[in-house]
Homo-oligomer: A and B are copies of this chain.
Amino acid sequence: MAEKVRCAVVGLGRVGYSHAENLATKIKGAEVVAVAAARQERAAAVARELGVDKSTNRPDDVFLDPQIDAVIIATPTSHHRDMIKKAAQNGKHIFVEKPITQTAEEADEATRIVHENQVLCQVGFMRRFDPAYAEAKKRVAAGDIGKPIYFKGVSRDPGSPPPDYIAHSGGIFLDLSIHDYDIARYLLGAEIASVTAFGNVLAHPFMKECNDVDQAVTYLTFDSGASGDVESSRNAFYGYDIRGEVIGTEGSIQIGSLRHHDLKILTPAGKTHDIIPDFPTKFKDAFLLQMIHFIECIRDKQKPSVTETDAKAALLIAEAATKSYRTGATVEIASGVCQ
C-alpha cells in the first residue's frame, strides 16, 4: 500500500471530532498527525484519545507544517476563507465544512486561490455520500422515474443548536437549508433559477434576538423547468428528520426514513420503532464515506465529486433565500453564476 495521507483536523466541535475519529480509527489510508482547537485542552484531550502526536490551539502550527498533506477545516464559518487561503498557499489539500465561506464574494476568492495552488478541495455536503441519496441519484439519472419535475426536501433538526451557535451560523438558510439546495441540484441535475423564502419563529423565542427563524420554507424553480420546495426547521422534538423526494414524469422516489434500530416494540400502546436522534447517527456512513472519498482523491490525484464550485452554488442560493425572506420578494439567480 502507498504511504498514508497525513491529515490535520482544525476545529474539534461535534463535526470536526467525527472527522478526526473516522480518519484516526477507520480509514487505513490516512493518519491524523495533528489536531487543532480554539482551546488547547480540547485539542490535547482529543489527541490523547485518538493517539494523535500533535495538538495545538494555533492553526498556523498546522498550516505551516510541511509534514501535513491535508487539512480538514471544521471551524466556525468566519474562519474558513483565511484558512482555505493559508492551506492552499501551503500546498495542502482541503476538506472544508459547509458553507464554504460566509459570503459568495469570499467563496470566489477562496475558489481562485484553490485553483491557483492546484490543491484539491472537497466540501462537506455529506448527504451526497449517504447510500440512499447516492442510490437515488443513480436511479434518477437512469431515468427510472422519467424526467424529474419536482424536488421536495425536509430537514428538521431535533431542537435548536445553542444561541451561541445560531448567532454565528449565518441563519437557517445558510446553515441548514443549504444541504437541501445542494442535494436538489445534485439529484435533479439542474440549477436553481429562483427562490422565494419564508420563515417564522415557532418554538425558540431566542431566534428573534439572533435575527433568525426556527422554521423556514423555500420555494424553488429550476432552469430545467422543474419546481421544488424545501422545509427546514429546528423543531422536530421527536428526532432528526431528513427526507427527500423527486417526482418524475413516470414515477417518484422517496428518500429517507426515521427508523433508527431495525426493531419494533409492540405493546398495547402500539407498534413503535425508535427514531434517529441526531445527524451523527443518521449520517454515520455518509460522514465516513465522504472522508474515504477525500483520502482516495488525494491518493489517486483526482478531483473530488463535490467541490468548491458546488459549495459556491449552494452558498449563492442560500444568500438569495436569506434575501428573499428579508424582502418578501422572489430572488432570481443569474444563470451561469452557479458554475
The smallest beta-carbon distance between A275 and chain B, in angstroms, is 6
Contacts A26-B28, A28-B26, A253-B264 given; does A272 touch B271 at CB 8 Å: yes
Residues of B within 8 A of A268 (CB): 237-239, 251, 275
What are 7 of the A-B contact pairs (CB < 8 Å)? A145-B267, A150-B215, A150-B235, A152-B231, A198-B227, A202-B227, A271-B272
Q: Which of B25, B226, B255, B264 contacts A262 (CB 8 A)?
A: B255
8 A Cβ contacts from A307-331 to B = 328, 330
The smallest beta-carbon distance between A260 and chain B, in angstroms, is 8
| Residue positions of A touching B, CB distance < 8 A | 1, 24-26, 28, 51, 131-132, 135-136, 139, 144-146, 149-150, 152, 196, 198, 200, 202-203, 215, 217, 219, 221, 225-227, 229, 231, 233, 235-239, 247-259, 261-275, 328, 330
Q: Count the copies.
A: 4
A272-B145 Cα distance, complex, nearest whole Å = 13
Contact status B237-A251, CB under 8 Å: yes
The smallest beta-carbon distance between A304 and chain B, in angstroms, is 20
Residue of B nearest to A131 (CB): B261
The smallest beta-carbon distance between A257 and chain B, in angstroms, is 5
Contact status B231-A229, CB under 8 Å: yes
A274-B149 Cα distance, complex, nearest whole Å = 23
A247-B200 Cα distance, complex, nearest whole Å = 14
Q: Which of B145, B237, B249 contacts A249 (CB 8 A)?
A: B237
Contact status B261-A132, CB under 8 Å: yes
A259-B258 Cα distance, complex, nearest whole Å = 13
The smallest beta-carbon distance between A139 and chain B, in angstroms, is 7
A202-B252 Cα distance, complex, nearest whole Å = 14
A154-B127 Cα distance, complex, nearest whole Å = 24
Contact status B263-A274, CB under 8 Å: no
Contact status B247-A253, CB under 8 Å: no
Contact status A257-B262, CB under 8 Å: yes
Contact status B254-A267, CB under 8 Å: no
The smallest beta-carbon distance between A205 and chain B, in angstroms, is 11
Contact status B271-A238, CB under 8 Å: yes
A156-B190 Cα distance, complex, nearest whole Å = 23
Residue of B nearest to A214 (CB): B149
Residues of B within 8 A of A330 (CB): 328
Contact status B251-A227, CB under 8 Å: no
A251-B272 Cα distance, complex, nearest whole Å = 11
The smallest beta-carbon distance between A295 and chain B, in angstroms, is 12
The smallest beta-carbon distance between A283 and chain B, in angstroms, is 12
Q: Which of B51, B215, B257 contacts A227 (CB 8 A)?
A: B215
The smallest beta-carbon distance between A174 and chain B, in angstroms, is 20
The smallest beta-carbon distance between A168 and chain B, in angstroms, is 25
Residues of B within 8 A of A257 (CB): 262
Contact status B256-A203, CB under 8 Å: no
Contact status B251-A225, CB under 8 Å: no
- Besides the known contacts A25-B28, A132-B263, 8 further A-B residue pairs in the complex with CB atoms under 8 A apart: A135-B261, A149-B215, A149-B235, A217-B219, A229-B229, A254-B264, A271-B272, A271-B273
Contact status A227-B200, CB under 8 Å: yes
A25-B25 Cα distance, complex, nearest whole Å = 10
